[in-house]
Amino acid sequence: MAIGSLLIANRGEIAVRIIRAAQALGIRTVQAHSAADADSLAVKLADDAVLIGPPPAAKSYLDIGAIIAAAKEKDVDAIHPGYGFLAENAEFADAVVEAGMIFVGPDAEAIRLLGDKVAARDVARQAGVPTVPGSHGRVADLDEARALVEEIGFPVMIKAAAGGGGRGIRIAEDFAAFEKQFPQAASEARAAFGDGGLYIEKVIENARHIEVQILGDGDNVIHCYERECSLQRRRQKVWEEAPAFGLSPTVRAALTECAVALAKSVGYRGAGTVEYLYDADTQAFYFIEMNTRIQVEHPVTEMVTGIDLVAEMLRIAGGEKLSIAQDDVHVEGHAIECRINAEDPAQNFLPSPGQISGLSVPEGEGVRFDTMLYDGYFVPPFYDSLLGKMIVRGVDRADAIRRMEQALGALVIGGIKTTVPLHLAIAANPDVIAGAFHTKYLEGWLAGAPLSETENA
Ligand code: ADP
Ligand code: ADP
Ligand code: MG
């Protein structure tokens, strides 16, 4: 059954992205929104809109009952969950199907298997994918944990099985720290994710974060090559690229084959991402998790492959088979994405909500700005601070970095502070230009206060 109408159960730039893809396919769009988002660009662009609750996400974008009721009221065929919020919530996927609608994503069973980070490690191992050394299953108590950390050695990571968005992760350098942090991590995870389950992984030092985009239709799975997401702050991605630089064809083939094998082992349907840590010195890679949804950084893959990943998701959800074969997927050039947040990088990333006064967006060949902004828009303080993503493509990496500098230089977002100065500094950083970085690089560099306004004042 093809999708004729779609409820977007998300907000911000991804809601806008989904509306545009759906409208291009002739799908009627209905934007579900909180009271704080009544004036959002997504509400303006969608064919119709429906209020789902007050500003706090728990009472709107995370309220399964309110979203299902809104979808029924508007009589839509399908619901797209975007990323974050309910995108990896198996209960939500079940509720959508029980209400007689299509969930744009994998079936609830696949979310249960892969969205739980502990269960996903088992699936990966069974599919022959190398995982980070660590616990098998959840770690029940401190005794079990003690035996395990003695075996794998410090430093170790204590991770929440239900964690995400860079949260729910702690590092212990030695046993004293571990004993203290383990119970704290359990109660924090219970409070933040409603699930206190923990597991343990060895820390892979100086690793890069490389991930593979996959698409499945239930019968077949293909990959759309990889992204490099090593420039992070607080374990959240800041700057992303496609392809990853300096990968040997052998490593690239192994990474992509493992991702496809993993997705095939569960009959995966929809778009998904298999995340790895990569040790450039030994060329070893380790599975860390799978995200069973569209990802923030999906545009860099679209820019180098020409594939519209959101359109593919909608077609697959509507019952179609993949429109592309593996041999049709080619990477051309190099793409970079910068996440532009309403935060002041000169003041330790202090949130900067407020009214936009003056917006000027660069245009041109190989430049794309995915955003929720319009001139006069008021950025609300209730949600994630992502305003948009500047994406460029160049003939090669050096060309892409140059184009990014130009695009960011031409971008004007008046009225609030944004992370544009951070990205301009990253683009001019010799280590970044040389590709000499890993997941801890950016934080180490920022600790030297390269962006501070007051340092020498
Ligand atoms: P992706 O894996 O798609 O690149 P991230 O890992 O940055 O995206 O974030 C995953 C999800 O977690 C996103 O949907 C994002 O909205 C959400 N998220 C990101 N940062 C935060 C945060 N500080 N607090 C809560 N959720 C967050
Ligand atoms: P999330 O669900 O929050 O996205 P991930 O497991 O994907 O969590 O890890 C997020 C980031 O944390 C990784 O990109 C990496 O920078 C760091 N990280 C996670 N696991 C490890 C590990 N075992 N060793 C070193 N760094 C890690
Ligand atoms: Mg992750």
CATH number, residue 100 = 3.40.50.20
Residue to mutate (ligand 2; options 288, 296, 439, 440; most atoms within 8 A of CB): 288
What pLDDT was estimated at residue 190? 93
Residue range of the domain that includes 389: 208-448
Q: Is 435 a member of any domain?
A: yes
pTM of the model: 0.96
Q: Is 330 a member of any domain?
A: yes
Catalytically annotated residue among 208, 293, 315, 403: 293
Whether omega before 130 lies within 30 degrees of 0, making that bond cis, reads: no
Q: Is 362 a member of any domain?
A: yes
**What is the distance in A from the centroid of ligand 1 to the CA of 150?**
32
**What is the distance in A from the centroid of ligand 3 to the CA of 414?**
32
Which stretches of 139-241 are DSSP H helices? 142-152, 175-193
What's the average model confidence in pLDDT over 253-261?
A: 98
What's the average model confidence in pLDDT over 226-254?
A: 98
* 81 and 190 together in one domain: no
Q: Is 119 a member of any domain?
A: no
What's the average model confidence in pLDDT over 36-65?
A: 98
The domain boundary, picked from 153, 170, 202, lies at 202
pLDDT at 457 over 50: no
Q: In sequence order, what are the beta bridge partners of 347?
A: none
The domain boundary, picked from 59, 84, 104, lies at 104
What's the average model confidence in pLDDT over 79-91?
A: 97
Question: 293 catalytic, yes or no?
Answer: yes
The amino acid present at 381, given as its one-letter code, is P
pLDDT in tens, 414-436: 999 999 999 999 999 999 999 99
Q: Is the CB of 277 under 6 A from ligand 2?
A: yes
Could you identify the atom of ligand 1 that is nearest to the CA of residue 87? 14
Return d(Cα 143, Cα 135) in angstroms, integer: 13
* 155 and 213 together in one domain: no
* 352 and 398 together in one domain: yes
Q: Which pairs count as long-range contacts for 362-367, CB under 8 Å and 24+ apart, including other chains?
A: 362/406, 362/407, 362/410, 362/411, 366/303, 366/333, 366/392, 366/393, 366/394, 366/403, 367/391, 367/392, 367/403, 367/407
* 158 and 278 together in one domain: no
What pLDDT was estimated at residue 450? 87
Return d(Cα 157, Cα 171) in angstroms, integer: 5
Q: Is the CB of 163 under 6 A from ligand 2?
A: yes
Q: Is 453 a member of any domain?
A: no
Return d(Cα 221, Cα 266) in angstroms, integer: 10
Q: Is 153 a member of any domain?
A: yes
Q: Is 116 a member of any domain?
A: no
What's the average model confidence in pLDDT over 9-19?
A: 98
pLDDT at 283 over 70: yes
What pLDDT was estimated at residue 453? 64
* 313 and 393 together in one domain: yes
What's the average model confidence in pLDDT over 11-20?
A: 98
Q: Is the CB of 203 under 6 A from ligand 2?
A: yes
Q: What are phi and psi of 227, to 5 degrees?
A: -125, 150
Scored b (16 or more CB within 10 A) or e, 305-330 reads bebbbbbbbbbbbbeeebeeeeeebe
Per-residue pLDDT band at 451 (split at 50, 70, 90):
confident
* 180 and 222 together in one domain: no
* 324 and 381 together in one domain: yes
Chain centroid, CA 42 distance in Å: 20
Q: Is 385 a member of any domain?
A: yes
pLDDT at 231 over 90: yes
pLDDT at 260 over 80: yes
pLDDT at 1 over 70: no
Return d(Cα 74, Cα 368) in angstroms, integer: 32
* 226 and 368 together in one domain: yes
* 320 and 255 together in one domain: yes
Q: Is the CB of 162 under 6 A from ligand 2?
A: no
Per-residue pLDDT band at 456 (split at 50, 70, 90):
very low
Strands 48-53 and 28-34: parallel
Identify the helix (H) or strand (E) that includes residue 52. Answer: strand 48-53
Return d(Cα 137, Cα 119) in angstroms, integer: 7
Residue to mutate (ligand 1; options 275, 290, 296, 313; most atoms within 8 A of CB): 296
pLDDT in tens, 124-139: 999 999 999 999 999 9
* 183 and 226 together in one domain: no
* 257 and 372 together in one domain: yes
Mean pLDDT, rounded, of the chain: 96
What's the average model confidence in pLDDT over 244-256?
A: 97
Strands 102-103 and 78-80: parallel
What's the average model confidence in pLDDT over 375-386?
A: 97
Whose CA is closest to 218, among 316, 327, 286? 316
- Tell me the C-alpha to C-alpha distance, in Å, between residue 9 and each of 66, 120, 169, 209: 10, 25, 27, 29
Could you identify the atom of ligand 2 that is nearest to the CA of residue 157? 23
As to burial, measured by CB atoms within 10 angstroms (0-12 exposed, 13-18 middle, 19+ buried), residue 199 is: buried
Give me the CATH number covering residue 151.
Answer: 3.30.1490.20
Return d(Cα 227, Cα 233) in angstroms, integer: 17
Percent above pLDDT 70 for the chain: 99
- Tell me the C-alpha to C-alpha distance, in Å, between residue 405 and each of 220, 310, 422: 39, 27, 11
Number of domains observed in the structure of the chain: 3
The domain boundary, picked from 145, 174, 202, lies at 202
* 67 and 164 together in one domain: no
pLDDT at 381 over 80: yes
Is residue 92 within 8 Å of residue 106, measured between CB atoms? Answer: no
